[in-house]
Amino acid sequence: MHKKRFSRFIRLMGRLRPLELPVTHRHNSVELFHGGRQFFEAFFSAIRSAEHTILLEYYLIHNDRLGSGLALELAAAVERGVSVRLIYDYIGCLETPASYFKKLSTKGVKLLPFNVPSFQRGFYWFDKRDHRKMMIVDDSLAFLGGFNIGDEYAGCMVDKLSFRDLGFSIRGEAVSELRAIFLNTWHGERDDNKVRHATEERPRQNASKIGDAAVNIISGGPRQRRSYIREAFQVNIASATEEILIATPYFVPGPRIIRALLRAVRRGVRVQLLLPARSDVPLMLLLGRSSYTALLRGGVEIFELEREILHAKVMLIDAERAVIGSANLDQRSFHRNFEINCVVDNVQFGGQIRELLQEEIEGARLVELDVHERRGVLVRIMERVVNLFGWFL
């Protein structure tokens, strides 16, 4: 049954992306981190054990306890001879003082601010973000997921201010593709694609077969003619036969994803969405809730997490295949952000995600259609107004 479902997924992927079918890396070990404390313990341990290279690409880095700890660990890595590169989103880190990055630079960390404002390029630059969250250590271990670098992600704050997130690590064949994606961004932003260091041109060794998780890397960005991020969500929804579980903090799926979810329900698939009751971007709540009526009427179950601020980004298909990474189910992630998602096909990994999501769903508030329909006139008007600007949020 598992092989039949995977074959169906590949056929669907090929139908939507005949010229861009992603490489399936079949021999990987993946590890799920349920919360910030667990994730960052492994994250910092990997930095301390690095011997050759550390590559980081992050949307947001705060100058708080976690961010300061990262700066110290990276400086220590450079001191012992490790090459460290950091790509950070300029707009995402706008509130982070310039002195933070200047200090990193003086310590020997190579920095690249992504998309520094330049009116020579018109206004196109303003709407482009590097939303990826990724670290690659010694070309053999990668950390990905929804975690930014900040205390609210690390479990250091009270529940109402904490972000509920997920992260994971990969060892194996897929790491080499992640490394290539990082270097492509590094050289593309520096506009020196013809320049390569000798160490970057060395032949890549075949990764040892250290696990049985199949991984597809889905890299999305505004330079693509089609949204590969959205299509990965679509084909996986279309391949489901029993169950779809989705957790996402910013829910602006658009008509294609909504139709895909409703078709899944009609063919007998149970669809459950875990969405936030509170958000760091309140307008996104209004925008997301404007699509609830169609989904609830079509049989989709919606739950809102109240205890913490939901920030996890994962979709689980039939308890065995996960789409997980930095991308939200929203138009910005589909079309205007640089994102990195992984499709992980592994029963054990999927089972861990399912157990975690079901636990969160049990503690969340069920959204009922009749209650939702009784929301006030003012709320409905605000939803309509926000929808006019939904593309830009």
Catalytic residue numbers?
Answer: 131, 133, 138, 311, 313, 318
DSSP secondary structure, 144-168, as one string: EES--BSGGGTT-S-GGG-EE--EE
Q: How many CA atoms lie within 13 A of 317 on its CB side?
A: 25
Phi, psi of 338 (to 5 degrees): -85, 120
Q: Do residues 251 and 330 lie in contact, with contact meaning Cβ atoms separated by under 8 Å?
A: yes
Please state, in angstroms and rounded to a whole number, the distance separating the CA atoms of residues 42 and 73: 13
- Ramachandran region, residue 16 (left: φ > 0; alpha: ψ -120 to 50; beta: rest): alpha
Contact 96, 67 (CB under 8 A): yes
d(CA 138, CA 336): 30
CB < 8 Å & 24+ apart, contacts of 380-383: 382/286, 383/286, 383/287, 383/289, 383/290
Number of other CB atoms surrounding residue 82 within 10 Å: 18
Report which of 209, 196, 255, 264 is spatially closest to residue 235, judged by C-alpha positions: 264
Token pair for 109: 């960390």
Helix (H) / strand (E) containing 353: helix 347-362
The DSSP result for 257-297, as a single string, is HHHHHHHHHHTT-EEEEEEESS-SSHHHHHHHHTTHHHHHH
